[in-house]
Amino acid sequence: MPEKILIIDDDVDTLRLVGLMLQRQGYQIAAAANGSQGLTKALEDRPDLILLDVMMPDMDGYEVTRRLRKNPATAAIPILMFTAKTQLDDKVTGFEVGADDYLTKPTHPTELQAHVKSLLARTVPKGDDAGLTARSDQRGYVVGVISVRAGMGVSSLSANVAAGLFNRIQSDVILAELTPGQGSLGMELGVSNPKGLTEILQGKTVEVTREKVQAILLPHNSGLKLFLSSENPRDVELVSEVRNFEALAARLASLARFVVLDLGSGLPTFAQKLLPMCNEQIVVVEGVPGSILHTKILIDEIVLLGIDKSTIHVVLNNRQRSEAQMSSTQVQKQLGYPIAATITPAPELFVQAARLHTPAVVAQPSNMTAQQFLKVADAIIEREKAR
């Protein structure tokens, strides 16, 4: 697919002439006539490059750049500023707020084309391995959720935290279930026979493009975009396709402000590669001695991957009402690691949510347990803002 270029300029003649020239070079063009419209289009279209005029009436190019750089969803998009200003201080200001390149009007078509090609060549991935080692925090904020063993509520926590994030920001949130052959979210959320992950893992790494991943995403009535695993046990063998997992995580991170990865249980090779790509890691624990002991080992192993302890957050998920369940204080003492949040049992809520094929946060947002998920989402948003 041709690279998409967004032109933001209040000068209609510039929009028309520059857009036509770049279209003739094979680029896909989007246009915005002011800064506010440009910010909206940048978030919706996720262009490969932005051409941005400085002098605009409602919001100048410097302020547009500041806002683009502040939003994780648009922070990595290269920006080429062009303006009639020729003063050195103006150019310095442009670079200081985050512009990648600067041209002075009037610009010769050949010069503009050269700068555009140069910026795209530096930022658009080329080849099998391109972009796979880049940290995902260049775009969206990625949260990896994992537990020491299956059946501890990783999928439920992932879905409800993702729904909580969407509830708060009303912007793109992707829920990605990366457990081939062990998918459960499709059934819970009313999606029959999901094959997205299988398709990605069975192909070549070079085929894991942003466009392909975006085409596989499924919109859900909760507001989330879903990327789901199949339920076919035979697909478990695809856990060995580590390079495809890495490529997928990098592409997902470019498609939404928040991406929540359901990494399942244990610490398979693909999870060892993806956890360091995440901005933070949520480890799910249950309030029983065996779970606590094994979770402590899991956290120690995650730290050995080179992950900063400050990005690891433990969530105590008490799924059943039982006197055998330990309190948050007791679990924290035995685990030797702080408990960031506690989820209390609410079987009736989850039954209702399953009937509606939606996360519990959406089914009954005022419920106490739903509010606990929302608090986890709120904490993630605060950490994203502070990064």
Query: In percent, how much of the chain has pLDDT > 90?
Result: 66
Domains 4-123 and 136-386 share a fold: yes
Q: Give CA 253 to chain center in angstroms.
A: 4
Q: How does pLDDT run across 56-76, given as a tens digit for each residue?
A: 888 999 999 999 988 877 888
Q: How does pLDDT run across 270-286, given as a tens digit for each residue?
A: 999 999 999 999 999 99
Q: Which amino acid is at 297?
A: I
Mean pLDDT for the stretch of residues 168-178: 95
Name which residue leads in pLDDT, 98 or 337: 337
| pLDDT for the residue numbered 321 | 67
Map out the domains of the chain as residue ranges.
4-123, 136-386
Residue 349 has pLDDT above 60, yes or no: yes
| pLDDT for the residue numbered 184 | 94
| pLDDT for the residue numbered 127 | 41
**Burial (CB count <10 Å: 0-12, 13-18, 19+), residue 334:** middle
Crossing angle of the two packed helices 61-70 and 88-97, in degrees rounded to 10:
20
CATH number corresponding to 136-386: 3.40.50.300
| Euclidean distance between CA atoms 329 and 333, whole angstroms | 6
Q: What is the mean pLDDT of the chain?
A: 89
Query: In percent, how much of the chain has pLDDT > 70?
Result: 92
Helix or strand (DSSP H, E) at 294: helix 289-303
Radius of gyration of the chain (CA): 23
| pLDDT for the residue numbered 15 | 84
Name which residue leads in pLDDT, 382 or 325: 382
Residue 105 has pLDDT above 80, yes or no: no
Pick the range with the lowest mean pLDDT from 13-22, 166-175, 307-316: 13-22
Pick the range with the lowest mean pLDDT from 130-134, 157-161, 238-242, 272-276: 130-134
User: Could you count the other beta carbons within 10 Å of the beta carbon of residue 130?
Assistant: 13
Q: Which two three-digit tokens encode residue 56? A: 């605009």
Mean pLDDT for the stretch of residues 249-260: 94
Residue 383 has pLDDT above 60, yes or no: yes
Residues 6+ apart with CB under 8 A from 221: 357, 358
304 SS3 class: coil
Q: How many helices (H) and strands (E) does the chain have?
A: 16, 13
Q: Taking the model in full, what pTM does it have?
A: 0.66
CATH number corresponding to 4-123: 3.40.50.2300
